[in-house]
Chain A
Amino acid sequence: MAQLTYREAVAAGIAQEMERDETVAFIGEDVARAGGVFKATVGLFDKFGPKRVIDTPISEQAILGAAMGAAMTGMRPIAEIMFSDFLAVCWDFVANEMSKSRYMSDGQLKCPLVVRTGNGGGSRFGAQHSQSIENWAMAIPGIKVVAPSTPADVKGLLAASVRDEDPVIFFEHKSLYAIKGEVPEGEHVDTLGTAKVVRPGKDATIVALALMVPRAIQAADKLMTDHGIDVEVVDIRTLVPLDMKTISSSVAKTGRLFTVEENPRLCGWGAEIVSIVVDELFWDLDGPAVRITTPHIPLPAADNLEDITIPSVDRIYSKILDVLR
C-alpha cells in the first residue's frame, strides 16, 4: 500500500492506463504542461509527451466532440472538463451525442471514453464553479456516472472507466483533492456498479457520495459516541450502474434510510434511491426515508454561507438524531 492524495491518485490512474494501452490519450485545458488547475495531472506530460497528453483551447464542445470522434473510431480518450459547471456549455455531447449514438445506430457506433471533471463545493468559488451536477448526468440513459470518495477508489474506478466500453462521466470532488489514503501498489482496477459499506452499523443506513461520504462517516461516529446509535454508511461510488443490492440489503437490515446529497434538492439522486426503496422495501422500513440535501438555491460564495448550504457533519448528525428520536 502506498499513501497517495486523491489528486495523485488521478494522475496514477491515468498513468496506469496510458502505460497499458497505447490508444489512451488525454486532452483538456491546461492539463499537460501546467499539470491541471487542480494539479491532478502533474507529471503525465513529462512521462507521455505531447502526442498523448494535450493542452487544448477553451473549447469544451471541441474537447468532448474530439474525444467522441476518436472513441468512435478506435481510441480510448480521457477528456477533462475543468469544472463540472462548464459541462453546461457542451452538454449536447453528453445528453444528445455520446449517450445516444450507440442506441440510434442500433449498436454500430461505440463510444469508450471518460470525461473527468472537478465537481462540488467547499472552495468558496460561488455559483458557477461549485455545483454538484452528478444528478444531471444520472438522468441521461446511455452513459455511466462515477463519483469516488477515496484515493484508492479514484485510481481503481478511473481505471475501470477507461476500460469500460461505454462513455463514463467521472466526477472528482474538488474538496477531496488534498485528502490522503492508502492505494494498492501495482495495477489497481475496481468495478463500476459496486457500492461499498464503508462503516458497518445496525440502526440506520446513510447512503452518500463523494465529499458526503467522509462527512457521513464522521456524523455516524459522533452518533455512536454520543448516543450509541450505530449507523451504517454506504458509499454509492457509481450512480450508473446503481448497486441497489448493496443499498437494499443495508436498508433491509437497519430499517432506516437517509441519503446525504450535495446536489440541490429537486430531482437529486437521493430522490431516485428513496423512491426505489419505498417501492421495493416499504415493509422493511421502520420510519420515513429522509433526504439531507443542499437547499434548492444557487451556491453562495461567502464561506459562512456556503458552509450552511452544503450538508455538514453537524447537519447530518442533528437531522438523523431528530428523526430517530
Chain B
Amino acid sequence: MAKKKTLKNDDIDEKKRLELYNSQYLIRVAEQRAYDLFLENLVKGTSHLSLGQEAIAAGFATAMQENDKSFCTYRGHAHTLARGASVVGVLGELMQRDCGLMRGKGGSMHLTDTSKGVMGSYAIIGAHLPMAVGSAWRAQYMGHDDVATVFFGDGTTNIGAFHEALNYAVVYKLPVVFVCENNNYMEYTPIESITAVKNPAADRASAYGLDSIIIDGNDADEVYRTAQVAYSKARSGEGPSLIECKTYRQSGHSRADPGAYRPDGELDHWKKNNDPITRYRSRLIEFGVKQKIIDGIEENVKRVVDEATEEAKSSPVPPEEILTTNVYANGGWAWRN
C-alpha cells in the first residue's frame, strides 16, 4: 500500500509557525540592537542578552493564554518581548529613558509589564520562583484559570529558593511551570563543574516527585509542544512541571563579559549548527513557506525595531520629580509626618 508522504513535526499549523518565527526573530533583532546601543554607550548599566536562547521565550509565550503570568530573571528582555511588550518600552528602559516600561526606575534587569502578564524580572537569583508559586496559589485559591511560568538559568538550580519553591508547588499542586534555560554556563563557570548532577534541573525533578523533562531548547516547535502539555496539566489541576531546556548563550553573561572562558570553537559550533533562528527558518522552508513570507516577517521586525530605536533615542531622560514617586502605595515616599 502506498503511504502518503508526511513530514515529521507537522502538528503545528503554518499560522502558529509564523508566529513562533516572528517572536524569535523579534527577540534576535532587539537583543542585537541592545548590544549595538551598548557599544554606542546608549544602554547604561548592565544588560543580559538572550541571543541564542530565543526559541524558549518564543515557544512558551506562544503557548500561553492572555491572562497567564510570566516571572523572569535579569535575563528577561526576551520573555518580556515575547509576551508582546512594546519594543519602545523595552529599549527605552534599557536606555533609561522616560519612555521605558518603568520610566528608567528599574532598568534592564527588572523589566515589568503587568498589562502583558509580565510580573517582573528579578535580579536576585531564585527569588522569583516562590513568587510564581504565590501567583499560582492565588489562581488556585480564587478559581482563576491562569498559569504562572517562571524562567531561570541553570545556576539557579543550586540556590535554596529553587528547592523550596518546587517542594511548595508540588505539595499544594499549584499551576506553575518551572522553566530552566540551561545555557551551559553559570555566569563564567561551566555549570557541570559546580553541580552534583549532569542535568541541573531535570535530575532534581525526582526529588519532588516530578517527571524529568529535558528538551531541545533551540527548537521552538519542541518548546511550544512541551509548554502546551505543561499548561494543560497545570490548568486541569494536575500541578506543576519542571522543564529543562538545553540551549546556548551566544552572548557574554552580561555586557561586560567577552566570554573568554569558552573553549575554542564552541561558540562557532553552536552558531553554525544549532542556532534557533537558522534552524527555524530552514524548517519553514521545509514545510513550504514561501521565502517572500519569511522575508516579509524579517523586514517588518527590522522596521519595528528601527522605529522603536529612534523613538527611544529621542525620548527624554526621566524627570527628576519621579525620583520619589511610587515608593509606597499612596504614590509617594513619606516615611514620617
Contacts and interface: CB of A to CB of B under 8 A. Distances in A.
Interface of A: 23, 25, 51, 54, 56-57, 59, 61-75, 77, 92-93, 96-97, 101-110, 112, 141-142, 144, 164-166, 193, 240-245, 276
Interface stretch (B7-15, B136-144, B222-230, B286-294): B136-144
B171 interface: yes
B142 A105 contact: no
Given A66-B130, A75-B142, A106 B102 contact: yes
B72 interface: no
Nearest to B168: A62
A106 B141 CA distance: 28
Interface in B112-158: 112-114, 119-120, 122, 124, 126-139, 141-142, 148
Given A96-B124, A103-B326, A106-B105, A62 B161 contact: yes
Nearest to A79: B134
B335 A141 contact: yes
Contacts of B172: 54
5 contacts: A57-B168, A70-B138, A97-B124, A103-B105, A107-B325
Given A59-B167, A73-B69, A242-B337, A68 B141 contact: no
A273 B106 CA distance: 31
A106 B135 contact: no
Of the candidates B130, B142, B328, the one having the most CB atoms from chain A within 10 angstroms of its own CB is B130
Interface of B: 69, 71, 102-103, 105-106, 110, 112-114, 119-120, 122, 124, 126-139, 141-142, 148, 160-161, 164-165, 167-168, 171-172, 322, 325-331, 333-337
A104 B335 contact: no
Contact of A72 (B131, B327, B329): B131
B326 A92 contact: no
A292 B217 CA distance: 60
Given A104-B102, A107-B331, 14 more contacts: A57-B171, A61-B126, A61-B165, A65-B165, A74-B138, A93-B127, A93-B130, A102-B326, A102-B329, A106-B106, A108-B102, A109-B112, A244-B336, A276-B336
A69 B133 CA distance: 7
A242 B335 contact: yes
B103 A106 contact: yes
Contacts of A164: 329
Contact of B131 (A23, A68, A103): A68
A110 B329 contact: yes
Contact of A92 (B71, B127, B137, B325): B127
Of the candidates A77, A103, A164, the one having the most CB atoms from chain B within 10 angstroms of its own CB is A103
A166 B328 contact: yes
A66 B336 contact: no
Contacts of B103: 106
B271 to A, nearest CB: 34
A19 to B, nearest CB: 17
Given A92-B124, A105-B114, A59 B164 contact: yes
B337 A193 contact: yes
A71 B134 contact: yes
A67 B148 CA distance: 14
A66 B137 contact: yes
A137 B202 CA distance: 37
B327 A69 contact: no
A105 B112 contact: yes
B106 A141 contact: no
Contacts of B129: 65
A279 B139 CA distance: 50
Nearest to A93: B127
Nearest to A96: B124
A109 B119 contact: yes
A109 B325 CA distance: 13
Nearest to B102: A106
Contact of B132 (A69, A108, A243, A276): A69
What 6 A-B pairs are tightest by C-beta distance, nearest first? A65-B130, A69-B134, A165-B329, A69-B131, A66-B134, A62-B164
A65 B161 contact: yes
A251 to B, nearest CB: 14
A70 B161 contact: no
Contacts of B138: 69-70, 73-75
A193 to B, nearest CB: 7
A114 to B, nearest CB: 14
A56 B130 CA distance: 13
A310 B167 CA distance: 39
B326 A106 contact: yes
A244 B69 CA distance: 41
Contacts of B139: 73
A67 B138 CA distance: 9
A123 to B, nearest CB: 27
A141 B334 CA distance: 10
B130 A68 contact: yes
Contacts of A77: 134
A68 B136 CA distance: 11
Contacts of B133: 62, 65-66, 69
Given A57-B171, A96-B127, A69 B137 contact: yes
